[in-house]
Amino acid sequence: MSTERERDDEYESGGGTFGDYGGQYVPEALMPALQELEDAYERYVLENEDGFMDEFRDRMRDFGGRPTPLQRADRLSERYDREVYLKREDLLHGGAHKLNNALGQVLLAKYMGKERIIAETGAGQHGTATAMAAAHLDMPCEIYMGRTDVNRQRPNVYRMRMNGAEVNPVEAGSATLKEAINETMRDWATTVERTHYVIGSVVGPHPFPRMVRDFQAVIGEEIRDQIREKAGRLPDSVVACAGGGSNTMGTFHAFVPDEGVDLYAVEAGGSSLEIDEENGMAPNSATLSTGTDGVLHGAMTKLLQAGDGQIVESHSVSAGLDYAGVGPELSHLVDIGRVTPTNVDDDDALNGFHRLSRLEGIIPALESSHALGYLEEEHDELGDLVVVNVSGRGDKDLETVLEETEKRDLEAAPEIEVFDG
């Protein structure tokens, strides 16, 4: 939490906006619930009423395993001839940064007297983290997940069920994260009086983007302390992947006031950066790099959309980055030049996956592999001291990686026959 550090509120206005982005574009039925949430966020999260933040930090330590290490990556440092450090969010309970937010929100729902938890999930990491947090805090939990994602992220579906959550497959559209969010919002509009919607990234209507960022900000706060201790100074650059942008904002938030630290948000370049308007498809999820301003899922932000306003279907080899929107705060930080938007295509992300697995003994999530792909491509631009956020571990992706690797000729991949057993 940034309570110790002076918050940089310059670009945050009171009405839930970041510059031109953000806001609350939701059905009227949800507005009272958003106001109730805003009130609870201010009291419990910002002011630590009833010791909420103390309990949150204690649980993140004992249940979640915080702090996570900042590790010097010896072989990557040698390969790129500069100091490379990895923030090991893959070591957090559940295998990704998602628990920071999920546990924070489920605990908040409990303080608010809510009786039921719902959430959407893409890769299944947020659903898994929410199911774990709900089991840990004894709350009933239902997860919405697109059918395509159910099929490509099976291990996470099993984990959610093991933790007692119901998993509702969503069949609409391309049946990925966007459709799962639509369906969770519909559930919430029906059950809002007793249910809390644990949104999984820094997206959605105010106060979600800000609140989720605050729960995730622990990543960057730890990095700041750890890098000072290990390297004696702040890094030249910090790199994180961006889907909705929660690991991104969590990693960046503490560094936003540090003008000397360059911030790189790495999106999914997919197979191409073009949008096919006729068929309503983008073969990428590079919203910050290529999107235009509009309103989706409750916020004004950058979007992948056709000229007439229809949202297009995004694509990425990584389910967790496969989203046509992005957090409004990131849109703003990109517009004011504080965050550099970049992207890495499916092939380079897969290479990043194999390289980290081989060189460092860490199997990263396909989402995080985009950040590692960027490091390979652009390390010369990143200065002498670089931190990369490894937002999650890749166990969930092994099947996808084997399949996708077989289709391609990847320089960093091992011989795939090895796996035939």
Ligand X SMILES: Cc1ncc(COP(=O)(O)O)c(C=O)c1O
Rank residues 83 and 176 by Cβ distance to ligand X and give the closer one: 176
Kindly state the tokens that stand for 1. Answer: 């939490």
Q: Work out whether the CA dihedral 176, 368, 372, 218 comes out positive or negative.
A: positive
- Secondary structure (DSSP) of 56-117: HHHHHHHTT-PSPPEEE-HHHHHHHTSEEEEEEGGGSTTSBTHHHHHHHHHHHHHHTT--EE
- Cα–Cα distance for residue pair 68/254, rounded to 1 Å: 16
Distances (CA, A) of 173 to 271, 314, 417: 20, 11, 35
Q: How far is the CB of 267 from ligand X (least distance, A)?
A: 9
Q: How far is the CB of 326 from other proteins (least distance, A)?
A: 15
Q: How far is the CB of 294 from other proteins (least distance, A)?
A: 5
- 391 tagged catalytic: yes
- Cα–Cα distance for residue pair 94/398, rounded to 1 Å: 16
Q: How far is the CB of 307 from other proteins (least distance, A)?
A: 7
Q: What burial class does residue 63 get, using C-beta atoms within 10 Å of its C-beta: 0-12 exposed, 13-18 middle, 19+ buried?
A: middle
Rank residues 123 and 304 by Cβ distance to ligand X and give the closer one: 123
Let me know: does 331 contact 290? Beta carbons within 8 Å. Answer: no
Rank residues 192 and 364 by Cβ distance to ligand X and give the closer one: 364
- 222 tagged catalytic: no
Which listed option, other proteins, ligand X, none, makes contact with residue 198 (CB within 5 to 8 Å by class)? none
Work out whether 245 is an interface residue with other proteins (CB under 8 A): no
Q: How far is the CB of 27 from ligand X (least distance, A)?
A: 24
Residue position matching structure tokens 């890749």: 394
Selecting among 302, 391, 396, 404, the annotated active-site residue is: 391
Which listed option, other proteins, ligand X, none, makes contact with residue 368 (CB within 5 to 8 Å by class)? ligand X
The binding track of 310-349 with respect to other proteins, each residue x by CB under 8 A or -, is xx--------------------------------------
Q: How far is the CB of 129 from ligand X (least distance, A)?
A: 9
- Cα–Cα distance for residue pair 401/244, rounded to 1 Å: 22
Q: Which 257-316 residues touch other proteins, going by CB under 8 A?
A: 280, 292-298, 303, 305, 307-311
Binding site for ligand X (CB under 6 A): 96, 122-123, 125-126, 201, 241-248, 320-321, 365, 367-368, 391-392
Q: Measure CA 406 to chain center.
A: 28
Closest to 144 (Cα-Cα) out of 123, 170, 162: 170
Rank residues 243 and 373 by Cβ distance to ligand X and give the closer one: 243
Q: How far is the CB of 35 from other proteins (least distance, A)?
A: 8
Work out whether 212 is an interface residue with other proteins (CB under 8 A): no
Rank residues 96 and 382 by Cβ distance to ligand X and give the closer one: 96
Which listed option, other proteins, ligand X, none, makes contact with residue 308 (CB within 5 to 8 Å by class)? other proteins
Which listed option, ligand X, other proteins, none, makes contact with residue 185 (CB within 5 to 8 Å by class)? other proteins
Selecting among 38, 87, 89, 98, the annotated active-site residue is: 98
- Cα–Cα distance for residue pair 321/392, rounded to 1 Å: 12
Selecting among 120, 179, 221, 360, the annotated active-site residue is: 120
Which member of 4, 6, 9, 28 binds other proteins (CB under 8 A)? 28
- 381 tagged catalytic: no
CA angle (403 as vertex; 267, 80 as ends), nearest 5: 50
Consecutive H or E run containing 134: helix 125-136
Residues 6 or more apart whose Cβ sits within 8 Å of residue 278: none
Which listed option, ligand X, other proteins, none, makes contact with residue 283 (CB within 5 to 8 Å by class)? none
- Cα–Cα distance for residue pair 11/74, rounded to 1 Å: 38
Q: Which 30-59 residues touch other proteins, going by CB under 8 A?
A: 30-33, 35
Work out whether 26 is an interface residue with other proteins (CB under 8 A): yes
Number of residues that bind other proteins (CB under 8 A): 39
Rank residues 277 and 377 by Cβ distance to other proteins and give the closer one: 277
Rank residues 82 and 315 by Cβ distance to ligand X and give the closer one: 315
SS3 of 276, please? strand
Rank residues 273 and 281 by Cβ distance to other proteins and give the closer one: 281
Cis previous bond, 283, omega within 30: no
What's 271's DSSP letter?
A: T
Q: Which residues pair with 119 in a beta bridge?
A: 143
Residues in the site for other proteins, rule: CB under 8 A? 15, 23-33, 35, 172-173, 178, 182, 185-186, 189-193, 280, 292-298, 303, 305, 307-311
